[in-house]
């Protein structure tokens, strides 16, 4: 399709609101503009279709995938961890056993994170509560994770 024609369709041939350029994807997800390109480069995000002029065009699928990646990073998952999680989404050739093993490993990791965060939560909540008085309690933050 000629790019002159594409204009009539607001970038993509389909639904107008499904076609996002890079800046809009970034804004929708809270991602840095350049990071979008970076994740594409390292293979975390698929190469998006392009307009005739070479502009990247994203859809809702890209939005949720990118949101997931960003939040998973905030939750302390490494790039490789996230690749593993996304493999559960992108799979096709994997056997069920492989999927299960991967899943169980992530599950253990996630549950440990939850456990430790709850410990921190408890300590912080106690601190905040006691602190409403004049007395600043002795702060056992470090002990929260004293495995």
Partner DNA sequence: TATAAGGTCTGTATGGACTACAGGCTCAAG
Partner DNA sequence: CTTGAGCCTGTAGTCCATACAGACCTTATA
Q: Which residues bind DNA (CB under 7 A)?
A: 3, 7, 21-24, 31-35, 37-39, 42, 50-56, 73, 78-80
Closest C-alpha among 80, 77, 145 to residue 109: 77
**CB of 36 within 8 A of CB of 25?**
yes
Strand, coil or helix: 15: coil
Cβ distance to DNA smaller for residue 24 or 111: 24
Tell me which of its own copies, DNA, none is bound by residue 55, counting a contact when its beta carbon lies within the kind-specific cut-off of 5 to 8 angstroms: DNA
Dist. CA 28–CA 23, nearest whole Å = 9
Angle (CA) 68-115-125 rounded to 5° is 100
Tell me which of its own copies, DNA, none is bound by residue 5, counting a contact when its beta carbon lies within the kind-specific cut-off of 5 to 8 angstroms: none
Binding residues (CB under 8 A) for its own copies: these are 64-65, 67-68, 71-77, 85-86, 88-89, 91, 94, 96, 99-100, 103-104, 106-107, 110-111, 113-114, 116-118, 120-121, 124-125, 127-128, 131-136, 139, 141-147
């Amino acid at each position: 399709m000629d790019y002159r024609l594409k204009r009539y369709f607001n970038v993509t041939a389909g639904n107008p609101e499904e076609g996002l350029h890079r800046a809009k994807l970034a804004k929708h997800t809270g991602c840095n503009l350049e990071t979008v390109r970076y994740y594409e480069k390292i293979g975390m995000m698929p190469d998006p279709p392009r307009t005739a002029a070479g502009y990247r065009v994203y859809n809702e699928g890209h939005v949720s995938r990118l949101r997931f990646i960003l939040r998973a990073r905030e939750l302390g998952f490494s790039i490789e961890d996230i690749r593993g999680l996304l493999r559960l989404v992108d799979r096709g050739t994997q056997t069920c056993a492989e999927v299960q093993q991967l899943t169980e490993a992530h599950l253990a990791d996630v549950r440990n994170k939850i456990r430790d965060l709850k410990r921190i939560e408890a300590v912080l909540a106690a601190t905040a509560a006691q602190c409403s008085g004049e007395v600043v309690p002795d702060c056992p933050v470090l002990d929260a994770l004293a495995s």
